[in-house]
Amino acid sequence: MENTTGAMKFICVTLLIISGITDSRSDLLSFSFTEQYEAVGPADAVLAVAGEDVILPCSVKPNISVVDMRVEWFRLDPKDSKLVHLYEDHEDRNTNQIESYRGRTKLNHQELQRGNTSLKLSSVRVSDEGLYKCFIQSKSWSDDATVDFNVEAVGRPPVITVDGFDHSGGLHLLCESEGWYPEPDLEWLNSEGVSLSSETTETQTDSV
């Protein structure tokens, strides 16, 4: 009887130790899954020239496939966030996309297998400038990253020449510049930065 009792105590202690190890591993796996992955965006603001295409970077680190996840890009607005691009159930679903982005956004579906959720934005406009959020969600995990996007206008520096004189001795000045996108506003200033008034001002745009 004494031997049997001793054996039972030994078995009981062994089961408790194994149970403790199992619980510890379960907690470790749970912590690792929820804390290991994160959505990562660029450290600095993204700059693009108006009229060109741009990539807004975002990815999951470490790299895992997000093919089965939800990927949503939207603009951060003080009043209401607006949808820029949505990928869900293995396809793009942009029914509720902002109208101005229609046909200009794209996710590389092959890159989704490597955790790359970067958004390509075509034909950049000045109105596209702002803060964007990349939101990634699976059944048991979600995270987001913010992208600050700035747009730079382009155009050649203006050249001013004297185009003639009128009957009262006033000057006709000609200001020429091209390649601007978007189309700029025109204002004449003197050397001190004060706005000049004129009898007439004509603006001519050459179409290509």
**Which range among 31-45, 98-112, 129-143 shows the weakest confidence by mean pLDDT?**
31-45
CB 141 within 8 A of CB 197: no
**pLDDT classification of 179: cutoffs 50, 70, 90:** low
In single-letter form, the type of residue at position 42 comes to: P
DSSP string, 111-137: GGGGTB--EEE-S--GGG-EEEEEEEE
**pLDDT at position 206, please?**
53
Specify if 15 maps to a domain.
Answer: no
Parent domain of 94: 38-152
Specify if 12 maps to a domain.
Answer: no
Q: Check whether residue 96 and residue 57 sit in a common domain.
A: yes
CATH code, 72:
2.60.40.10
- Please state the rounded mean pLDDT for residues 101-116: 97
Kindly provide the b/e burial profile for residues 12-29, where b requires at least 16 CB atoms within 10 angstroms of the residue's own CB.
eeeeeeeeeeeeeeeeee
Q: Check whether residue 45 and residue 134 sit in a common domain.
A: yes
Residues 6+ away with beta carbon under 8 Å from 158: 175, 176, 177
Listed in sequence order, the DSSP H helices in 52-94 are: none
Please say if the pLDDT value at position 115 is more than 70: yes
What are the tokens at 110? 């092959």
In single-letter form, the type of residue at position 127 comes to: S
Strands 70-75 and 130-137: antiparallel
CB 144 within 8 A of CB 131: no
**pLDDT at position 111, please?**
97
**pLDDT classification of 197: cutoffs 50, 70, 90:** low
Please say if the pLDDT value at position 200 is more than 70: no
Specify if 93 maps to a domain.
Answer: yes
- Please state the rounded mean pLDDT for residues 94-119: 97
Q: Check whether residue 130 and residue 160 sit in a common domain.
A: no
Q: Check whether residue 148 and residue 158 sit in a common domain.
A: no
Q: What is the pLDDT of residues 5-32, one digit of tens each?
A: 444 444 443 333 434 444 444 444 443 4
What phi and psi, each to the nearest 5 degrees, are found at residue 33? -70, -40
Highest mean pLDDT among 152-161, 166-175, 179-188: 152-161
Q: What is the pLDDT of residues 166-175, one digit of tens each?
A: 777 677 778 8
CA distance 47 to 53: 11
Q: Check whether residue 77 and residue 158 sit in a common domain.
A: no
Query: The whole model's pTM is what?
Result: 0.64
**pLDDT classification of 99: cutoffs 50, 70, 90:** very high
CA distance 20 to 144: 35
Domain count of the chain?
2
In single-letter form, the type of residue at position 91 comes to: E
**pLDDT at position 89, please?**
97
